[in-house]
Structure 1
């Protein structure tokens, strides 16, 4: 008996809700990163992060209002963990990533993000006692290697080359560490509470935005930055895809699967850029295709072994 695509998708979503959400977030972040990369020279990282956060908060608030979801009952400890995870992972982490994006370009900045999964898995092992099987560790390693191989490939001269390699590497490492710590803190809160992914996303993004406000005092470009219509539309589109939907899906992934696995799968975003490149008349190379196959093999190991 033949199985329809709809039945296959339903089985996949029911069997692997966390993993499916993580891959959905990765695809949306790939799309939004293309937009953010085109805006990086027109707006500072702090201001960009602040605007995208404000837009996402508005969208999440309206969604919760329409759905009629009341503020969930949760302990002060869990609330504090979620807020702290947002301040570190979204406030500091995303700002550092945007800074790395400006210094390194999208390809190398995404490469630095692949440092987050192993950092996260080690921290989860230490602080959350999440015992990952050897096969899962192998899958994580294989996925990271595949992604790294794709994004480190030499590209045509049309790509913007790094303007400050050392500074970009530092920002990239900071972003990866912040992402890992934010994921650990969020996981610690989500596994012991019934809070919905929507509320978790709203709380984390709100904390991220609030954590940026003191930095505006030292951000000189905040006073002179006058976003054009192109910038506003671009940030709105990217915030809807990457921050509103992407963070929502990420919170779902963290809630329903181990944080090391969730962060590994959400870091497959560079793989989803391959079909985007095809549409932009940039034919993916053999190395890019092989790297994608290696990463997908790692994902299969994580799922089935």
Structure 2
């Protein structure tokens, strides 16, 4: 691959084989998961595991090539702008993703549950089908699915996790400023602390789930409250996990001497993503735990 020195040249990569690997991996993962859930054929879980292994291999190999291209100075300002626009649209898609789930929570709380409880257009529904049901939140629904439950105390583990993520947003910002100041030692310290805070957050979220299942009888099967609670917090936890992995990879790259004050979009992209994860958690803390 030739070095691109002209500012007028837009680097176009060679034909990539990795998208077909990703497609095969996704297909095997979905096929294996479907068979595992709906079939008793032996060995079906391994189809899913093979698909996941192919996806992981593809990610390492493909991102490895991108890193080599970046460190070889093949990207000019136009390419950098393309990367930024791509990351902005990706984060926008994530905003829409969580908006759908917050919308489901809002609709259930403000419309569905009150209607079933007899408010407004739900008078006949309540009288004929669920007489005696009071549409108050939190609820496991008129069928009393999975029995009575207790909710998580928002001012215990959720508050601790909120403080952890807010602190991690500060540490990753300090690390970003250290990159721009070409202070690699400070970048490593603050970035490592960000990864640690993310890991501690995930540890406490696991503790919270264990408490919910073992002590509070709050489960995914606990009606509409259980499904919306675990849907929102679970998907957010998955995003924190991915963000922490990306931050750890960026940390390894910083240790290896990657990134310069004038060229470090890989770092910036992950920092943007991490800030997005923090903002989503603030919404969760308010609308899921407190209200």
Q: TM-score range by the shorter chain?
A: under 0.3
Instruction: Give the structure with the larger helix fraction.
Output: 1
Larger radius of gyration: 2
Higher RCO (Cα < 8 Å, 6 or more apart): 1
TM-score by length of 1: 0.26
Q: What TM-score comes out, normalization by structure 2 length? A: 0.27
